[in-house]
């Protein structure tokens, strides 16, 4: 297991078991890095309970105007593609919540009236659980985009095995999350909702040229729309994990199933091996 490999765990639909799979894989990997990129609702730390050794505030630049210098010329507000600036009755108004922090307005202002001020976007916590490095980002309430926080998190990939716990969906956060991944593990549940969203995230990883495989979670032996999707679309099925109320109960209490059951420890150990094998051959 000496080579460097970054695996992103995704699902499209929320609540299919991304975090359960990611934290248990990380726990059996022992010497590895776990990164929680679900910055809107980070949960990995609830299971891994890392000893935190650093906490860093991540900021993002937003414009502030010096009204003594601004002459209301509208050059900045006309140029802002996001309409985050407006001049009303000769006075510049700034809407930081829709500003994308592109930096154009500072460059254009002929009066030098705009300055970039750092605003708190969230925190990045680094910790460890024995040999496992645990990183997580927590987006500040009310902030629209966690993309810069995910970028900051991913700068910490140092080599070895990295397991990234992804956000749900298939939008910009997921896109950023998998930008550095070598392989994507898609966790799917046996419902039509799960299948629909598996298809969307599979489309995204394929578009980005990332090899992927699916883990069918909560299977019941009945019809599984996600399995049917995978089979019809050449998406390798790496494993199927049957619905188990005990697993659900342990996980709901914030515990690691691999610590509670030798059987599951073996299961996740073998699963990690299979994923690494699949990723190397992809």
Contact residues for other proteins, defined by CB under 8 A:
11-16, 19, 38, 40-41, 43, 46, 79, 81-82, 97, 100-104, 107-108, 139, 141-147, 167-173, 175, 189-193, 196-197, 200, 203-204, 207-208, 220, 223, 225, 245, 248-249, 251-254
Q: Shortest gap between Cβ of 281 and other proteins (angstroms)?
A: 25
Q: Shortest gap between Cβ of 38 and other proteins (angstroms)?
A: 8
What kind and span of H or E run contains 277? helix 262-281
Beta carbon nearer to other proteins, 47 or 161 = 47
Per this entry, what is the length of the chain?
282
For residue 262 the two structure tokens come to 């030798």
Beta carbon nearer to other proteins, 208 or 276 = 208
Beta carbon nearer to other proteins, 1 or 172 = 172
Q: Shortest gap between Cβ of 273 and other proteins (angstroms)?
A: 27
Burial class (CB in 10 A: 0-12, 13-18, 19+), 36: buried
Beta carbons within 8 Å of 212's beta carbon, 6+ residues apart: 183, 184, 185, 186, 202, 205, 206, 235, 236
Under 8 Å between Cβ of 31 and 187 = no
What kind and span of H or E run contains 78? helix 75-79
Distance CA(183)–CA(282), nearest Å, equals: 8
Q: Taking Cα atoms as reference points, which of 210, 209, 207 lies closest to residue 186?
A: 210
Beta carbon nearer to other proteins, 107 or 156 = 107
Beta carbon nearer to other proteins, 203 or 277 = 203
Beta carbon nearer to other proteins, 1 or 118 = 118
Q: Shortest gap between Cβ of 71 and other proteins (angstroms)?
A: 20
Burial class (CB in 10 A: 0-12, 13-18, 19+), 89: exposed
Q: Shortest gap between Cβ of 168 and other proteins (angstroms)?
A: 4
Q: Shortest gap between Cβ of 148 and other proteins (angstroms)?
A: 9
């Amino acid at each position: 297991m000496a080579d460097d490999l970054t695996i992103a765990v995704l699902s499209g639909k929320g609540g299919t078991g991304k975090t359960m799979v990611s934290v248990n894989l990380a726990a059996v990997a022992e010497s590895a890095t776990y990164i929680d990129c679900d910055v809107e609702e980070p949960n990995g730390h609830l299971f891994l309970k890392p000893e935190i050794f650093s906490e860093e505030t991540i900021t993002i630049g937003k414009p502030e105007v010096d009204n003594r210098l601004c002459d209301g010329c509208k050059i900045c507000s006309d140029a802002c593609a996001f309409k985050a600036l407006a001049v009303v009755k000769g006075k510049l108004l700034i809407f930081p919540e829709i500003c994308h922090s592109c930096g154009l307005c500072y460059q254009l202002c002929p009066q030098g009236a705009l300055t970039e001020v750092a605003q708190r976007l969230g925190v990045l916590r680094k910790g460890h659980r024995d040999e496992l490095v645990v990183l997580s980002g927590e987006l500040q309430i009310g902030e629209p985009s966690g993309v810069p926080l995910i970028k900051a998190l991913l700068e910490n990939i140092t080599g070895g095995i990295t397991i990234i716990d992804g956000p749900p969906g298939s939008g910009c956060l997921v896109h950023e999350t998998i930008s550095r991944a070598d392989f994507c593990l898609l966790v799917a549940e046996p419902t039509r909702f799960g299948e629909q969203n598996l298809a969307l995230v599979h489309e995204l990883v394929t578009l980005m040229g990332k090899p992927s495989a699916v883990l069918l979670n909560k299977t019941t032996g009945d019809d599984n729309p996600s399995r049917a999707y995978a089979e019809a679309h050449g998406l390798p099925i790496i494993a199927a994990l049957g619905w188990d109320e005990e697993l659900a109960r342990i996980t709901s209490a914030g515990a690691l199933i691999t610590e509670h059951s030798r059987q599951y420890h073996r299961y996740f150990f073998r699963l990690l091996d299979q994923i690494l094998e699949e990723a190397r051959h992809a």
